[in-house]
Amino acid sequence: MSVRVRFAPSPTGLLHVGALRTVLFDFLFAKHEGGQCIFRIEDTDRARYNAESEQEFVETLRWVGIEFDEGPHIGGPFGPYRQSERKEAGIYATYIEELEAKGHAYKAFDTSEELDQMREFQQINKQQIGYFGGDWRDAISSEIEAAIAAGRTYVIRMRIPRDRKIIVQDAIRGRIEFDSNILPDPVLIKGDGMPTYHFAAMVDDHLMEITHIFRGEEWIPTSPIHALLFELFGWTAPVFVHCPVIIGADGKKLSKRHGATRVLDYMAQGYLKFALKNFIALIGWSPGGDVESMTEEELISSFTIEGLQPSPGRFDIEKLNWLNGLRIRSMTTEAVLEEMKGLYSEAYTKHYWETFVDEDRVPNQPEKDGKKIYSQFENLVLFAESNRVYALHCIKEEQERVTNLIDFGAACEFFIVDEPEMDPKAVDKWFGQPHVRDLFAHLKATCGTKQLTIEEYREKLVEFQTANGIEKLGPIVHPTRVALTGKTSGPGLFELMAVLGPERITKRVDRALTFVK
Ligand code: GLU
């Protein structure tokens, strides 16, 4: 039988890193096995359903490049793929009737006050909390008929068999045993007639012929309900793959402190989807050996369940930065520019930066100004539209140093503006030196007339050094850099001179002269 996996989110909020990992594992596993990956929307909790959330899931998965074989937006032979529509189609009604008829489910008419009282009683008497039968598990048919006749609302609960073990076979942890006496009878159909997650998901997993359930390990405690449903229906259960929890690099629960948790934020910050997928896949999974940087094809070809680990997976943003930088450097400059244009065309990028608040400000560093970051990025992308060749040269110079796409805006700014911002400290430090006026005159005369090669720019500076008997090249290089870029760091000086060319060099040196006291 061919492998079929599903990603089945409840659209109640944002798409976080944990869910991305689940869907990525689904996708990699399906591709590795030549199987199918199905997208299913679990929207039976109407109180928590959020249409924007569903949209966010679709948008994020589109950006990240995870394609499904079947789903609500593409259809498929097992549809509909949205549980509310499946409910309308009467799919769950058939199965709950079957379970009731077999005696594995029963109607419970408890009011919410009665349930509260039960809980209170259990708390006071230090009993196990939960519905273990109440008045209805063993009610006789006349009582049930009377309650129905009286028009009382009810839920349908699962009759958990008592005094036995329930076994869940987990692909990572092996056999997990549960004592059925500690499992309350869960609701399968709610008062509004909607199935609960437990019921709808398992019925659908069966009907959609799902072979493997990848999901977070927070579902382990309720997994016996799921395994039992399969058993009571007489269906073959899929393989459960409970993926390890994700923790921060400091070993603590993953939170915003460790980096964004919303996947779209990584897009807006300028991470490449390939690097992000590479990084996320390595949280709790390893291909063996110490390979880290992998292409999507490599991830697919090496993804097996055996590589999944039961211990918590670490989310280390430094590793993502490293992988992203590596990826940026491995691309052609044209491809980097295309990625930047793609990022610019995403409406969320602007929204993210314009509403950005620097929550974890790095000590001794100025606060990050989201609006400025965005406008620098926008300026570069727009500039590249009319000055493509020059922009590509600028991007190429920064490609070695930049970690993510958005940073190209600030890094390349000095290249593309007519008057780069001058760092006053750098000006103070380097423009006060006695040889600076002569140096600038020399620069204009030798580097400001025609385009030279990188090596020739170096020779011109060395020429000045030798002629003036200056021991080191530093006192020549630094003021030149400040004059041309406004700052003390950046790409190699001779390389950037070759990009700027004679006209810009002349203008910038002229302007720098106005700063010399
Ligand atoms: N709808 C569930 C969720 O929101 C899916 C859990 C599962 O994969 O079984 O996470």
- Domains delineated in the chain: 90-243 (3.90.800.10), 331-406 (no CATH), 424-513 (1.10.10.350)
Q: Which of 25, 29, 42, 220 to mutate to test the pocket of ligand 1 (most atoms within 8 A of CB)?
A: 42
Euclidean distance between CA atoms 413 and 392, whole angstroms: 13
Q: Are 35 and 2 in contact (CB under 8 A)?
A: yes
Q: How far is the CA of 8 from the centre of ligand 1 (A)?
A: 5
Say if ligand 1 is within 6 A of residue 452 CB: no
pLDDT computed for residue 316 by the predictor: 95
Protein residue closest via CA to atom 3 of ligand 1: 9
Q: Are 154 and 135 in contact (CB under 8 A)?
A: no
Protein residue closest via CA to atom 7 of ligand 1: 215
The mean pLDDT values, 10 residues at a time, for the chain of 517 residues are: 95 94 98 98 92 93 96 96 97 97 97 96 95 94 96 97 96 96 97 96 98 96 97 97 94 85 96 98 93 96 95 95 97 98 98 92 87 98 98 97 97 97 94 94 96 97 96 95 96 97 97 93
Say if ligand 1 is within 6 A of residue 205 CB: no
Q: Which of 197, 205, 239 to mutate to test the pocket of ligand 1 (most atoms within 8 A of CB)?
A: 197
Q: How far is the CA of 22 from the centre of ligand 1 (A)?
A: 10
Say if ligand 1 is within 6 A of residue 10 CB: yes
Q: How far is the CA of 201 from the centre of ligand 1 (A)?
A: 8
Is 256 part of the annotated catalytic residue set?
yes
Structure tokens at 374: 């965005």
**Index of the ligand 1 atom closest to the CA of residue 215:** 8
pLDDT computed for residue 195 by the predictor: 97
Say if ligand 1 is within 6 A of residue 215 CB: yes
496, amino acid identity: L
pLDDT computed for residue 244 by the predictor: 93
Say if ligand 1 is within 6 A of residue 42 CB: yes
pLDDT computed for residue 438 by the predictor: 96
What angle (nearest 5°) sits at the alpha carbon of residue 496, between those of residues 420 and 409?
Answer: 50
pLDDT computed for residue 8 by the predictor: 97
Task: Name every residue whose Cβ is closer than 8 Å to that of residue 241 and which is 6 or more positions away in sequence.
Answer: 25, 170, 171, 172, 212, 213, 214, 215, 305, 308
Protein residue closest via CA to atom 9 of ligand 1: 215
Say if ligand 1 is within 6 A of residue 18 CB: no
Euclidean distance between CA atoms 54 and 148, whole angstroms: 36
**Index of the ligand 1 atom closest to the CA of residue 201:** 9
**Index of the ligand 1 atom closest to the CA of residue 6:** 8
DSSP bridge partners of 195: 189
Q: How far is the CA of 280 from the centre of ligand 1 (A)?
A: 19
Structure tokens at 487: 């700052």
DSSP bridge partners of 177: 167
pLDDT computed for residue 359 by the predictor: 84
Q: Are 370 and 289 in contact (CB under 8 A)?
A: no
Strand bridging mode 313-315 / 246-248: parallel
pLDDT computed for residue 256 by the predictor: 82
**Index of the ligand 1 atom closest to the CA of residue 226:** 9
Q: How far is the CA of 154 from the centre of ligand 1 (A)?
A: 25
Say if ligand 1 is within 6 A of residue 217 CB: no
Point out the catalytic residue in the list 165, 252, 253, 256: 256
Task: Name every residue whose Cβ is closer than 8 Å to that of residue 67 and which is 6 or more positions away in sequence.
Answer: 27, 37
Euclidean distance between CA atoms 72 and 507, whole angstroms: 59
Please state whether 192 falls in left (phi above 0), alpha (psi between -120 and 50) or beta.
alpha
Euclidean distance between CA atoms 21 and 24, whole angstroms: 5
**Index of the ligand 1 atom closest to the CA of residue 42:** 1
**Index of the ligand 1 atom closest to the CA of residue 197:** 1
